[in-house]
Amino acid sequence: MKEKLMRFMQGRYGSDELNITLLVLSVILSILSPVTEIFSGLSMVCLCYAIYRMFSKNIYKRRCENAKIVPYFSFIKAKFKNKGQAKIFMCPKCKRTLRVPKGKGRITLTCPCGEQLKRKS
């Protein structure tokens, strides 16, 4: 049985950060589903997409999807983590998260990729 499952999963994508986020989102939406029917439908869509990604054999495409979405998750996570202490910016070129202490006025940020951002902290 274990060998059959291993053979079935061979060459398939498996799980990553985006899949875990989709599954958590699906659980949260299913908990909220008694509020409206839309949450129930969205929960099923998230779950089906996570399962599709998990069993997909197009590994390159799944990795590209993950690489596109994960910087936004880390940006949101950093924003919540540094709330009130620092300002968080995302480089438009390389999608890297930049952290600046709050209350420094207008500043010019230089990303490690060379992009310069003029922002207010």
Q: What are the counts of helices (DSSP H) followed by strands (DSSP E) for the chain?
A: 4, 4
Q: Is the dihedral of CA 41, 46, 51, 55 positive or negative?
A: positive
User: Nearest distance from residue 2's CB to Zn ion, in Å?
Assistant: 45
Contact between 38 and Zn ion (CB under 5 A)?
A: no
User: Nearest distance from residue 115's CB to Zn ion, in Å?
Assistant: 4
Cα separation, 6 vs 3, in Å, equals 5
**Residue list 54-93, contact with Zn ion (CB under 5 A):** 91, 93
Contact between 115 and Zn ion (CB under 5 A)?
A: yes
Figure out which of the listed residues 83, 101, 113, 119 binds Zn ion, where binding follows CB under 5 A.
113
User: Nearest distance from residue 88's CB to Zn ion, in Å?
Assistant: 14
Nearer to Zn ion, 24 or 94 (CB): 94
User: Nearest distance from residue 61's CB to Zn ion, in Å?
Assistant: 24
Beta carbons within 8 Å of 98's beta carbon, 6+ residues apart? 88, 89, 90, 91, 109, 111, 117
Per the document, the length of the chain is: 121
Binding site for Zn ion (CB under 5 A): 91, 93-94, 96, 111, 113, 115
